[in-house]
């Protein structure tokens, strides 16, 4: 499901998750805080390259994931670029319904490009984390970072149950589709409603079963698990510092060159 498969195949999989978390978060925060197109594009290029080189991800996989947020970006970018401009000087303008003057000004175009570049940079930073760290390692890392135990446990349980329920929903959907379900809007609603309620009832019953199984194995309210055996990843802190330095240099250069 999603980036999960890639994370288990990643070359960085055995590396301690905490340096990976800090590395990705540092790149992400600097990218968002610096508010510059150059830094955004650099973060996009650098983190994607590191993802491919260090993580050994396939180019096709990365491109497929980078395409996901493009739909949102298309609407977001357009709504920032094309807007009512009054009588301002525009690169391109039209009368909406013959009354309002809408168009693209240089300033709005620049803002739109800035937002798109920054967002894609941020997305690539998160992909570096999620495509190289299995979720179970991340939840253990959360625990080591002193996130409340109950929250971590809920996260772990939900992660496990997602796959159970998604598999079940998929099987039910196949069964429905092979029996003329989802034909037309009305029947789609009916089929979907049955699917959801069945999955919900089964998930409740399954929850009861999981609890009985846990209780018969001495469950006292806490799920204790052993952390994995990790390769130390301190070199990632060096990489984080180098990336941050490059990002800041680009920011300074951009501020100097473009007043």
What CA–CA distance (Å, rounded) separates 232 from 102? 56
Instruction: By CB under 8 A, tell whether 58 contacts another protein.
Output: no
- Pairing verdict, β 100-104 and 92-96: antiparallel
User: How many Cβ atoms from other residues are within 10 Å of residue 169's Cβ?
Assistant: 16
Q: Rank residues 217 and 234 by Cβ distance to another protein and give the closer one.
A: 217
Say how many Å lie between the first and final Cα of the chain, rounded.
45
Exactly one of 9, 52, 113, 192 binds another protein (CB under 8 A); which one?
A: 192
Q: Rank residues 11 and 188 by Cβ distance to another protein and give the closer one.
A: 188
Minimum CB–partner distance for residue 107 and another protein (Å): 12
Exactly one of 54, 90, 126, 239 binds another protein (CB under 8 A); which one?
A: 126
Site for another protein in 204-243 (CB under 8 A): 204-208, 210-211, 214-215, 219-221
Instruction: By CB under 8 A, tell whether 8 contacts another protein.
Output: no
Site for another protein in 137-176 (CB under 8 A): 138, 148, 150-151, 153-155, 157-162, 164-166, 169
Q: Rank residues 220 and 234 by Cβ distance to another protein and give the closer one.
A: 220
Q: Rank residues 166 and 235 by Cβ distance to another protein and give the closer one.
A: 166
What CA–CA distance (Å, rounded) separates 77 from 98? 24
Instruction: By CB under 8 A, tell whether 244 contacts another protein.
Output: no
Minimum CB–partner distance for residue 12 and another protein (Å): 15
What CA–CA distance (Å, rounded) separates 40 from 46? 10
Instruction: By CB under 8 A, tell whether 101 contacts another protein.
Output: no
Instruction: By CB under 8 A, tell whether 76 contacts another protein.
Output: yes
Instruction: By CB under 8 A, tell whether 254 contacts another protein.
Output: no
Which residues are CB-contacts of 165 (< 8 A; sequence separation ≥ 6)? 199, 203
Which span (50-58, 67-75, 238-246, 247-255) binds another protein, by CB under 8 A? Answer: 67-75
Cα–chain center distance at 191: 30
Exactly one of 49, 63, 189, 248 binds another protein (CB under 8 A); which one?
A: 189
Instruction: By CB under 8 A, tell whether 121 contacts another protein.
Output: yes
Cα–Cα distances (Å) from 156 to 150, 161, 192, 222, 241, in that order, read: 10, 9, 28, 12, 31
């Amino acid at each position: 499901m999603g980036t999960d498969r890639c994370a288990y195949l990643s070359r960085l999989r055995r590396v301690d998750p905490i340096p990976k978390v800090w590395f990705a978060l540092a790149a992400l925060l600097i990218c968002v805080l610096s508010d510059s197109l150059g830094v955004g594009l650099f973060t996009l290029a650098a983190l994607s390259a590191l993802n491919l080189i260090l993580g050994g991800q396939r180019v096709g996989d990365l491109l497929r994931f980078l395409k996901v947020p493009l739909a949102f970006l298309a609407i977001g970018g357009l709504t920032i670029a094309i807007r009512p401009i009054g009588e301002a000087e525009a690169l391109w303008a039209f009368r909406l319904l013959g009354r309002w003057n809408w168009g693209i000004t240089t300033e709005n175009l620049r803002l739109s490009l800035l937002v798109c570049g920054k967002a894609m940079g941020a997305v690539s930073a998160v992909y570096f984390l999620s495509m190289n760290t299995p979720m179970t390692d991340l939840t253990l890392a959360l625990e080591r970072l002193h996130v409340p135990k109950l929250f971590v446990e809920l996260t772990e349980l939900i992660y496990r149950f997602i796959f159970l329920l998604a598999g079940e929903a998929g099987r039910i959907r196949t069964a429905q589709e092979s029996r003329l379900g989802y034909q037309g809007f009305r029947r789609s609603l009916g089929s979907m409603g049955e699917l959801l309620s069945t999955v919900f009832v089964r998930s409740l019953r399954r929850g009861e079963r999981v609890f009985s199984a846990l209780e018969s194995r001495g469950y006292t309210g806490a799920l204790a698990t052993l952390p994995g055996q990790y390769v130390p990843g301190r070199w990632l802190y060096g990489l984080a510092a180098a990336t941050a330095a490059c990002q800041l240099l680009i920011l300074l250069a951009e501020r100097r060159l473009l007043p």
